[in-house]
Amino acid sequence: MIATIISEKKKHFPVLLNEIISIITPQYGGTFIDCTFGQGGYSEKILTFPNTNIIAIDRDKDVFEKALQVEKKFKDRFIFKNIKFSQIQNLKLKNENIKGVIFDLGYSFNQIKNPKKGLSFESTGNLNMRLGINEFSAKETINKLSQSELEKIFKYFGDEKDSKRISHRIIKERKKKEINTEDLVKIIELSKKKKNYKIHSATKVFQALRIFVNKEISELIHGLICATKLVNKDGLIVVVTFHSIEDKIVKYFFKSLSEAKSISRYEPKKGENINLLKLIQKKPIVPSQEEIKINPPSRSAKLRFAIKKENFFDFKTDILEKFKNLIDIENYSNKL
């Protein structure tokens, strides 16, 4: 799900690439896990440094072709797995020195423009929005969930102020026929009290549906927990977010574990409190004006990173409780 900078020739470059390279210092070698392989920008750049290895993952099977190209170029230094990043604990690692785990939570240009995925409000036909390894689509979500459930999805995942009006009209219209992408866009436009000419009327609802369909809240939380377990001492967890919910989750996770917490089962001794993570800076890194000029969508990107201070595997975190209200909304999917 790599967010990209698009030149006039539609050449792809990952957001905040130079900043990430300066943070992870691949010139000193090591193994890195690229949790959002996408178009391969981060992986290919890291592999240009000698003595580096990449374990790349992506839930989207459409990236296989690109992964094969990178594998052919870098041979035994690159491995690709078609899994979700909440599943990285299942990787069979053979004593690799995991120096860094990288997440880029944006969508690629190819994904947005792929009509089969239906991520964009400019798409036509059946609602989809599945990025891969999904149990349901936006079609089931819109046509089966209740008005109150849809309202909460739009309100909390999309910050949509007209969520009640939109969900009410959806229920009314789906009694007549099954709602598709064009129908949903029309419903949203008719439901909006005020027009915002800076963004399309359907932007927030489509964002909310993408988050819900791909369970991006729990995916991110479990991905962060797994990454923190896998990375070695002095290794880094690096995350690029693109909307406020993601950034709040990452900010809270890093901040809470950079304060004194108790590690269970493993070293140090049970009950001893230490700071599990170290923060070099509290504020996020954002794209330069030059990068934003080349790729305006990158303006919402925020980069946060943390360093693992000790070798530990099991640890306590209250992040699931902290964001329980959002996970409860995600669990509406159990009805589909």
Could you read off the pLDDT of 9-62 as tens digits, one per residue?
455 568 999 999 999 999 999 999 999 999 999 999 999 999 999 999 999 999
pTM, rounded to two decimals? 0.92
Tokens 């269970």 belong to 264
pLDDT digits (tens, 9 = 90+) for 205-218: 999 999 999 999 99
Which residues have C-beta within 8 Å of that of residue 322, sequence separation ≥ 6? 252
Cα–Cα separations (whole angstroms), residue 44 to 12, 99, 114, 206, 302: 12, 16, 23, 31, 22
**CA gap 26, 91 in Å, rounded:** 22
Identify the band that residue 96 occupies on the pLDDT scale cut at 50, 70 and 90: confident
Q: Which domains does the chain have, with CATH numbers?
A: 4-110+216-312 (3.40.50.150), 135-213 (1.10.150.170)
**Tokens in use for 243?**
């909307």
Count other Cβ atoms within 10 Å, centred on residue 242.
Answer: 21
Count other Cβ atoms within 10 Å, centred on residue 173.
Answer: 17
- Chain-centroid distance of CA 75 in Å reads 27
**Tokens in use for 135?**
């149990």
Which residues have C-beta within 8 Å of that of residue 59, sequence separation ≥ 6? 82, 83, 84, 85, 131, 132, 133, 214
Q: Percent of the chain having pLDDT more than 70?
A: 91
**pLDDT of 111:** 74
**243 pLDDT higher than 70:** yes
**Tokens in use for 52?**
């580096």
Q: HSE of 335 in the Cβ direction (CA atoms, 13 Å)?
A: 14
pLDDT digits (tens, 9 = 90+) for 163-205: 999 999 999 999 999 999 999 999 999 999 887 767 889 999 9
**pLDDT of 8:** 37
Residue 241 and residue 247 in contact, taking contact as beta carbons nearer than 8 Å: yes
**Tokens in use for 137?**
């689509």
pLDDT digits (tens, 9 = 90+) for 255-300: 999 987 656 545 555 556 678 999 999 999 999 999 999 988 889 9
**pLDDT of 50:** 96
- The whole-number average pLDDT for the span 243-262 is 91
**1 pLDDT higher than 50:** no
**pLDDT of 115:** 73
**223 pLDDT higher than 80:** yes
Question: Please, what is the average pLDDT of the chain?
Answer: 90
pLDDT digits (tens, 9 = 90+) for 138-155: 999 999 999 999 999 999
**pLDDT of 222:** 97
Tokens 């004194």 belong to 260
Tokens 């949203």 belong to 188
pLDDT digits (tens, 9 = 90+) for 77-95: 999 999 999 999 989 787 6
**pLDDT of 132:** 96
**7 pLDDT higher than 50:** no
89: amino acid identity, one letter = Q
**pLDDT of 129:** 95
Q: Does residue 108 or residue 224 have the better pLDDT?
A: 224
**CA gap 280, 230 in Å, rounded:** 20
Identify the band that residue 6 occupies on the pLDDT scale cut at 50, 70 and 90: very low
Residue 272 and residue 315 in contact, taking contact as beta carbons nearer than 8 Å: no
Residue 61 and residue 82 in contact, taking contact as beta carbons nearer than 8 Å: yes
**pLDDT of 262:** 58
41-76 burial, b at 16+ Cβ within 10 Å, e below that, comes to bbbbbbbeeeebbbbbbbbbebbeebbeebbeebee
